[in-house]
């Protein structure tokens, strides 16, 4: 179904599958492929900014070490944990 490209006349891969099957695609693809092979393209302004960022010296990130919200311990929990550890330690030596 649809227009088919002549299998004897193979072309380099260019744009999409449907555009290669269109009538006259052989001549259009030849123009497209020769234009693409000429030198390097100039970067867009955003691309130039990204390239400049890559070349800059990288500074180490300063990260504040905070526990996750679900893992925060309150002062009461910390004190009770310490007392539990002391109690178990004393219990070991008493026996």
pLDDT tens readout for residues 15-48: 677 766 666 666 666 666 665 555 567 888 998 8
Number of domains into which the chain is organized = 1
The answer to the question of residue 89 being in a domain is no
The answer to the question of residue 14 being in a domain is yes
Q: How far apart are CA 71 and CA 76, in angstroms?
A: 14
The answer to the question of residue 94 being in a domain is no
Q: How far apart are CA 41 and CA 70, in angstroms?
A: 51
How do residues 47-68 score in pLDDT, each as one tens digit?
Answer: 888 888 888 877 766 666 666 6
The answer to whether 46 and 37 are in contact (CB under 8 A) is no
The answer to the question of residue 7 being in a domain is yes
29 C-beta neighbours (distance < 10 Å), count: 19
The answer to the question of residue 47 being in a domain is no
The answer to the question of residue 65 being in a domain is no
The answer to whether 5 and 21 are in contact (CB under 8 A) is yes
**In which domain, by residue range, is 2 found?**
1-38
Model confidence pTM above 0.75 = no
The answer to whether 21 and 4 are in contact (CB under 8 A) is yes
């Amino acid at each position: 179904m649809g227009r088919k490209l002549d299998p004897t006349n193979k072309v380099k891969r260019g744009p999409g599958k449907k555009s290669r099957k269109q009538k006259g695609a052989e001549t259009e693809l030849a123009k497209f492929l020769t234009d693409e092979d000429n030198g390097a393209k100039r970067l867009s302004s955003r691309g130039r900014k990204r390239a400049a960022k890559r070349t800059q010296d990288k500074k180490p990130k300063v990260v504040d070490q905070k526990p996750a919200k679900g893992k925060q311990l309150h002062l009461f929990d910390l004190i009770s944990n310490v007392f539990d550890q002391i109690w178990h330690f004393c219990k070991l030596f008493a026996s």
